[in-house]
Amino acid sequence: MKILVTGGSGYIGSVTLARLLQAGHRVHVFDNLERGHREALPPGIPLTVGDLRDAAAIADTMAAVRPDAVMHFAAYALVGESMRQPELYFVNNVTGGINLLEAMRAAGVKQIVFSSSCATYGEPGSADIDESTLQSPTNPYGESKLIFEKMLRWYSGIHGFRTIALRYFNACGATETLGEDHADETHLIPLVLRVALGQSPHVKIFGDDYDTPDGTCIRDYVHVVDLAEAHLQALERGVTGAMNLGTGRGFSVKEVVEACRRVTGHPIPAIISPRRPGDPGRLVARAALAGEKLGWQPRFTEIDEIVATAWRWHQAHPHGYA
Ligand code: UDP
């Protein structure tokens, strides 16, 4: 198939792009390179440097490329930033999303695989989250993803689109060549590994008074390679609807820090700090649906193994792609 990939230079987009190419698909990347990295794209890959907020740019690209399907990764994805500047999230993720869907409709492109998020669920409590859990986001980032999911449902019902929203839990890990490099890094594993690299003195643990066994937040860490595999399967099988992508296992912040100590051999000092506003205590997926519909099973379920892949990448790229 020929796939138009928005946000192909980003963390999850670039790993999925590599998997698509490996599987023999043709790709065209549409990316503004604002938060992604040109270095994460294979040399010679067809690329339009453009912004989804520019309706004409995406419409022209869609008409020229005429892909069989779209994979849509391009979006802002920082919860904290969205709480300070919600407008960025609604303009980029929602308006940009409408421009993308309208470009598809005009060009007769009807299949889309969308990067959604467990942030669409908000704070559902202590039970594992399945796809029927109420979606009630607690920040504009999650809201922007949920709005796009809702648009997908209407475009599929009314315009006959084939749409799938993949709701990632905590994406992490790396391949040999592609990894996580955010200018404004907020994610736990890269921040802990920075300590092991000697780039920061300690990691902060945001709250140890949650209602969890060790008091720190529990998350479902899902490897980026497994996410890429799920995209490929969703695309090739033309599966529709929405599904969680997680391992079904939860690890606390303290457990992740311990894993990083084991993998790196570094003592990694940790300082208990105040809670980060908006952090739910526990977010763990029930991911049976992806197994049923895609035949998807995450290969990386052990936290040490996940951290080890990230550690290899960060050691080889101590300053990211720069
Ligand atoms: N976290 C932490 N210290 C950090 C960064 C994150 O204690 O420096 C915690 C955060 O409060 C959350 C978990 O680690 O409970 C995962 O955070 P991350 O930002 O990686 O992903 P999120 O779950 O917010 O999408």
pLDDT digits (tens, 9 = 90+) for 36-47: 999 999 999 999
What is the three-class DSSP state of 235? helix
Distance CA 89, CA 87 (A): 5
Residue 71 confidence (pLDDT) above 90: yes
CA dihedral 125, 128, 131, 132 (to 10 degrees): -60
CA distance 305 to 208: 25
| Beta bridge partner(s), residue 244 | 167
Complete edge-to-edge strand list for the sheet that includes strand 26-31: 47-49, 26-31, 2-6, 69-72, 111-117, 162-168, 241-245
Between 281 and 70, residue with greater pLDDT: 70
* Longest Cα–Cα distance in the chain: 56
Identify the three-state secondary structure at position 71. Answer: strand
Query: Pocket residues for ligand 1 (CB within 6 Å)?
Result: 79, 170, 186-188, 191, 203-206, 217, 219, 253, 276, 279
Asked if residue 206 has pLDDT above 80, the reply is yes
Q: Tokens representing 312?
A: 């290899």
Taking the centre of ligand 1 as the mean of its atom positions, its distance from the CA of residue 188, in whole angstroms, is 5
pLDDT tens-place string over residues 227-275:
999 999 999 999 999 999 999 999 999 999 999 999 999 999 999 999 9
Cα 185 to ligand 1 centroid, rounded to whole Å:
11
Find the 158 Cα to ligand 1 centroid distance in Å.
Answer: 39
pLDDT tens-place string over residues 106-129: 999 999 999 999 999 998 888 899
Residue 179, classed as helix, strand or coil, is coil
Average pLDDT on 295-314 reads 97
Distance CA(296)–CA(248), nearest Å, equals 13
| Residue minimizing CA distance to atom 5 of ligand 1 | 188
Q: What is the pLDDT of residue 280?
A: 87
Measured CA distances, 28 to 2, 42, 195, 257 (Å): 8, 11, 37, 38
Q: What is the pLDDT of residue 295?
A: 95
Burial tier of 55 (Cβ tally within 10 Å: 0-12, 13-18, 19+): middle
pLDDT confidence band for 26 (50 / 70 / 90) = very high
Q: Minimal CA–CA distance to 129: which of 279, 280, 231, 248?
A: 248
Catalytic residues: 141
- Among residues of the chain, what percentage have pLDDT more than 70? 100
Quick one: pLDDT band at residue 157, thresholds 50, 70, 90? very high
Which domains occur in the chain, in start order? 2-171+223-245 (3.40.50.720), 173-219+249-316 (3.90.25.10)
CA distances from 77 to 58, 99, 211 (A): 20, 19, 27
